[in-house]
Structure 1
Amino acid sequence: MSDRPVFVIGCPRSGTTMLQLMLHSHPRMAVPPETRFLIPAYYRRRTWGDLRTVSRRRALAQWIATDRSTKFRELKIDKDEFIRQVVEGPGSLGSVFGTAFRMYADRFEKVRWGDKRPSYVKQVDLLLRLFPDAQFIHLIRDGRDCVASLKEMPWYTLDSFHAISTWAEAIDAGGRLRRTLSDDTYYELRYEDLTDDPATELKKLCHFLDEEFSPAMISPREAASVAVPQHKVWHSNTHGEVTRSRVGSWAKRLDDWEIAVAEHLLGDRLESMGYELTGAPKPAKEHVTACHKTMQKRRASRMRKHMRDRLNRLREPSPVAAMLTSGQRALAGLPQQHPELTEPV
């Protein structure tokens, strides 16, 4: 049976929370609400020093467990026990993170954990450094529906051009992953197909994950009360049955000019993913120019961050890769743990 970590990725508002709950409904898998410690701590890894030193591991664990920005409290695991297990665990950045997720899985007596955050789609190389045996599920939804939904979110303060850019970036990142990762590491799934025939799509997904299909995954309402924080009111749909009611609703939720810009700039990507275009009239030149400028600024920002990280990789104080699962330990040249240490009692 597999113990590989699983990451749900995609454009925001593409149904990743629904998929998170479906996975969490599986008897062997636990996928928590979104946390906020993995990426910030990775980029600040030089701050924590050499994690092979107990005091440095303790300092990082305390930051994860007590800083309000990390949302560690959403995991509902014991802070002191987490710090203790980190101190006694392997000295690597990924092992510290993995310990938190493993303890979350232990809460439900499950042997495998996952994590969900849409923006991870652009950070898969980073995640593979931390968890070299990880698997990735990219949930893809019609870009026009994603743009329409993003605009309506209370936490989304950017304009339609940024929303269009966000979907384009996710699709482009997925294309790169499809070309470079193995078939047992990267999997693409369309939201529309998942909501149309959940059983068929989830059976195929379970095959990718090397897991037996569980019928409980089809109706993940119960998991929503555990794995979706109550304050996230924009995820209210996850507390009901799986539905196709929002598929194609962009036609009523976007303005004509937004549809025109989206189809003009995303057309090739939409069609490559199986979405039909409306044949909207050509958008205004100023809208196209504004969207191109937004895309260029965002691309430049990503490149600057990428270059800074490449430099930091040359000065890393300690190992990055986790050494917890069977695959991670094998890659690190460590002996396998006894089954009793990984399977719940």
Structure 2
Amino acid sequence: MTLKRSLNRALTATTGLQVRRAPRPGTPRPAAAPQRPAPAYRRPSAEEPATDRLLRRPAFIVSSIRSGSTLLRLMLNAHSRLHSPHELHITRLEVGFGSSVSQYSMTRLGLERGDLEHLLWDRVMHWELVRSGKDHLVEKTPGNVFDIRRVRDCWPDARFVFLLRHPESVARSWHESDPEKRPYEKAVADALRYVAAVDDARKALPGGCTVRYEDITEDPERQLRRLCAFLDVEYEPGMVDYGRAGGTEVPRGLGDWRPTIRTGTVQPGRALPERDEIHGRLLPMCEAWGYA
């Protein structure tokens, strides 16, 4: 955008005009994502919750791609009571019946395919939490947003953290991570699909905690204190210095931040785009989230 800014400065100085991207009024917001047909399932029993679920009050970071969910995961995982593993993609774990006899047997138990998948998801998550030796699990797979209602039905006591980032920054970061595979226009379409799904999830799941990527990079301690209060744990200073606290090397290339290996220092995010630099298809969501 450097050439565009230079051109606008010259035009403004000589004519008082500027070059802006033409808005696209009436551009329909795409559906969140093609939904796979959900198998039949029932919600866990309120009378006997221990019968249906091992995991209690799991937390899910609901975010778009390239929104800083890995940074947030590393910071939360540095807490002595919070375990936030790598992306588990549990909603892509499926169960199949090897024969009609096995299906009939499970049906007699009151378990349809969706119920069996939920038992599998719960067992995997609980297994991972027990292995960690901690108390609370926080899962951060961005793709969960497209199955978030089913996640809620699997764990009615689940807690949700909504992580927002400027939609234009999401699109640019997604494009820049692989420009050949994801031209800018495709990156915009992908970003819009995700942020629209996050927006829908916020409306469908009241009572969650919303945090912005930009606020985390600007004042991580303040945002982590908010999140700890929401997750019912005491804030620990080591969360900000997450690399040292966790004792693990932090991989590079995660979004736009550039952490130093083993230090976990949070770096400032990229500058927010000007209004005339926002793609027309993303502008409505930017306005809805207070970015424009």
- Structure 1 CA distance for aligned equivalents of residues 171 and 62 of structure 2: 17
SS class of match (2:93): helix
Runs of 4+ in 1 over 6 A off after TM superposition: none
C-alpha contact (below 8 Å) 2:77/2:246 kept by paired residues = no
- Structure 2 CA distance for aligned equivalents of residues 157 and 215 of structure 1: 40
Partner of 2:289: 273
- Structure 2 CA distance for aligned equivalents of residues 22 and 52 of structure 1: 45
Question: TM-score by structure 1 length?
Answer: 0.56
2:271 to 243, 248, 259: 248
The 5-angstrom pairing of residues 102-251 of structure 1 reads: 102-154=126-178, 157-183=181-207, 186-222=208-244, 226=248, 233-235=252-254, 237-238=258-259, 239=261, 240-244=264-268, 246-248=269-271
- Kindly provide the CA deviation profile for residues 155-195 of structure 1, in whole angstroms up to 9, marking residues without a partner as x: 98232223212332333223322322231xx2221111111
Q: Which amino acid aligns with 2:58?
A: P
Measured after TM superposition, the shift of residue 227 of structure 1 is 8.6
- Structure 2 CA distance for aligned equivalents of residues 170 and 51 of structure 1: 38
Structure 1 or 2, whichever has the larger Rg, is 2
Q: Which amino acid aligns with 1:22?
A: M
Partner of 2:93: 41
C-alpha contact (below 8 Å) 1:51/1:93 kept by paired residues = no
Measured after TM superposition, the shift of residue 11 of structure 1 is 1.4
C-alpha contact (below 8 Å) 2:97/2:103 kept by paired residues = no
- Structure 2 CA distance for aligned equivalents of residues 7 and 268 of structure 1: 26
Which of the pair is proportionally richer in helix?
A: 1
**Greater displacement, 156-165 / 200-209:** 156-165
The 5-angstrom pairing of residues 279-318 of structure 1 reads: none
Partner of 1:309: none
C-alpha contact (below 8 Å) 1:29/1:114 kept by paired residues = yes
Partner of 1:294: none
* Residues 1:187 and 1:272: Cα distance change in structure 2 (over 3 Å): same
- Kindly provide the CA deviation profile for residues 206-226 of structure 1, in whole angstroms up to 9, marking residues without a partner as x: 222222222222221246765
SS class of match (1:234): coil
SS class of match (1:152): helix
Give the unaligned 5+ runs of structure 2: 1-54, 107-114
Partner of 1:14: 67
Partner of 1:291: none
1:99 pairs with 2:123: yes
1:5 pairs with 2:58: yes
1:27 pairs with 2:86: no
C-alpha contact (below 8 Å) 1:10/1:138 kept by paired residues = yes
SS class of match (2:223): helix
- Kindly provide the CA deviation profile for residues 259-285 of structure 1, in whole angstroms up to 9, marking residues without a partner as x: 968432221221232223xxxxxxxxx
- What percentage of aligned pairs have identical amino acids? 25
* Residues 1:23 and 1:150: Cα distance change in structure 2 (over 3 Å): same
- Kindly provide the CA deviation profile for residues 68-106 of structure 1, in whole angstroms up to 9, marking residues without a partner as x: xxxxxxxxxxxxxxxxxxxxxxx8432322332323223
- Structure 2 CA distance for aligned equivalents of residues 52 and 29 of structure 1: 38
Measured after TM superposition, the shift of residue 134 of structure 1 is 1.5
- Kindly provide the CA deviation profile for residues 92-125 of structure 1, in whole angstroms up to 9, marking residues without a partner as x: 4323223323232233310221211112222201
Residues paired across the two proteins, number:
223
- Structure 1 CA distance for aligned equivalents of residues 164 and 206 of structure 2: 19
C-alpha contact (below 8 Å) 1:150/1:156 kept by paired residues = no
* Residues 1:30 and 1:265: Cα distance change in structure 2 (over 3 Å): same
- Structure 2 CA distance for aligned equivalents of residues 155 and 130 of structure 1: 37
